[in-house]
Amino acid sequence: MKVRKAVIPAAGMGVRFLPATKAQPKEMIPIIDKPTIQYVIEEALDSGIEDILIISGRSKRAIEDHFDHAPELEAHLAAKGKENELAAVRRISEMGNIHYIRQRQPLGLGHAVGCARAFVGNEPFAVLLGDDVVRSAVPCLKQMLAWHAELGGSLVAIEEVPLEDVSKYGVIKGAQVRPGVYRVEDLVEKPPAEQAPSRLAVMGRYILDPRVFELINQTAPGAGGEIQLTDALRLLVREKPLYGYRFEGRRYDVGHCLGYLKATVDFALEREDVREPFLRYLRGKVANPGG
């Protein structure tokens, strides 16, 4: 069955990025000049997704404004003859069908995804987490959808991480069934290094069977006292196939400082308008870090 719908949880408080996130949603923090959530939405649309539900929360209104028309700004840009800027601003408000619902209490990622039940109905759907931005030749979700069309079931994006990092992620136990594709036998949320079943960590892209909604309802609070999506998937594995896919591309955790800085540098070096002067600046910096 074709995957038409995607869910983007965006209700988190952004504690790892304070003080920037005190009065603005972390999803609106830009990499160069584009909010991170726009990268994620573009990935979904470039993968063929038709409808997107953003799970929003209190103090997240800037996200809705960003994807809405901005009549005053547009009139101002038109009056000044700033055609390029006007086209860019208009393009954002015409991006796909974006829907919103609020998660009323911050009860965890599993609970946030559970808020999408009425929107999704009884069809497979994608979940994209905004902290993970992926740079790749083929959009990460599109790569996953190709495997989903072939294998069916559910699919999570995975990446091998250093042992000291496994405790930050959901981690799978599984056996490779195709190049880069693992049949997941079990998974565990944020295990201590010595208890991790592997170094294959779940990254923020999922294609899920709607059965997961029932299972979220049966999931008790887990790691961090929150209802974890990983724990619901653990139940799903007992009933239906779940695959882990090592996607091609580079992932940035833009929810913390170093990942954010790396993303900024790498994305800037791909931008024709800033690449050369920025590279010159970086070379000078490397030669003389204190200068």
Please tell me whether residue 57 binds ligand G1P under the rule CB under 6 A.
Answer: no
* Cα–Cα distance for residue pair 255/171, rounded to 1 Å: 19
Would you state the structure tokens that stand for residue 78, as one six-digit string? 């038109």
Please tell me whether residue 131 binds ligand G1P under the rule CB under 6 A.
Answer: yes
Please tell me whether residue 113 binds ligand G1P under the rule CB under 6 A.
Answer: no
CB of 171 to ligand G1P, least distance (A): 8
Q: Assess contact for 244 and 196: CB atoms under 8 A.
A: no
CB of 275 to ligand G1P, least distance (A): 28
Query: Which CB, 47 or 228, lies closer to ligand G1P?
Result: 228
Please tell me whether residue 230 binds ligand G1P under the rule CB under 6 A.
Answer: yes
Query: Which CB, 81 or 192, lies closer to ligand G1P?
Result: 192
Please tell me whether residue 54 binds ligand G1P under the rule CB under 6 A.
Answer: no
Say which DSSP state 224 is in.
Answer: G
CB atoms within 10 A of CB 265: 14
Vertex 237: Cα angle to 129 and 201 (nearest 5) = 45
Indicate the length of the chain as a whole number: 291
Please tell me whether residue 204 binds ligand G1P under the rule CB under 6 A.
Answer: yes
CB atoms within 10 A of CB 269: 13
CB of 203 to ligand G1P, least distance (A): 5
Query: Which CB, 148 or 205, lies closer to ligand G1P?
Result: 205
What is the DSSP pairing of strand 181-189 with strand 170-178? antiparallel
Where does residue 95 fall: left (phi above 0), alpha (psi -120 to 50 degrees), or beta otherwise? beta
**How many residues lie near ligand G1P (CB under 6 A)?**
14
Coil, strand or helix at 176: strand
Please tell me whether residue 9 binds ligand G1P under the rule CB under 6 A.
Answer: no
CB of 78 to ligand G1P, least distance (A): 40
Please tell me whether residue 25 binds ligand G1P under the rule CB under 6 A.
Answer: no
* Interface residues toward ligand G1P, by CB under 6 A: 109, 129, 131-132, 169-170, 189, 201-204, 228-230
